[in-house]
Amino acid sequence: MPGCNRPRACRRTLCHSCRHRIYRSTSGVPLRTDLDPENVETAVIRRAFPEGLTEAERRAVGQRLLRLGYSISHIANLSGASTRTVTRWKAALTA
């Protein structure tokens, strides 16, 4: 998908997340756009960004990890987002 910088498997054009997102969108299963506090809490406890998190959940997990003192580069590596994106998440905390 445009703008996706997650690693792809050998000889694949899409990463697993994008491939699954396309599959879900064509299979009739509605895509979630809401924020589930349980998903956010689980991701913060595990210090990981599992596949299937919505964008709002990823942002919430990133912001919680920032409050816990994790560095921007560490959160960017965990989430697969750019350091610039994590910097924006941090700026939104102080705004």
Per-residue pLDDT of the chain (95 residues; tens, 9 = 90+): 566 777 777 777 778 777 777 666 666 555 567 788 888 999 999 998 888 888 889 999 999 999 999 999 999 999 889 999 999 999 999 87
Judge if 54 and 13 occupy the same domain.
Answer: no
Judge if 27 and 38 occupy the same domain.
Answer: no
pTM to 2 decimal places: 0.64
Distance (Å, whole) CA 15 – CA 44: 23
Distance (Å, whole) CA 87 – CA 8: 25
- Domain coverage including residue 20: 1-31
Residue 63: predicted pLDDT: 94
Number of domains in the chain: 2
Judge whether 68 and 43 are in contact, CB under 8 Å. Answer: no
Judge if 52 and 64 occupy the same domain.
Answer: yes
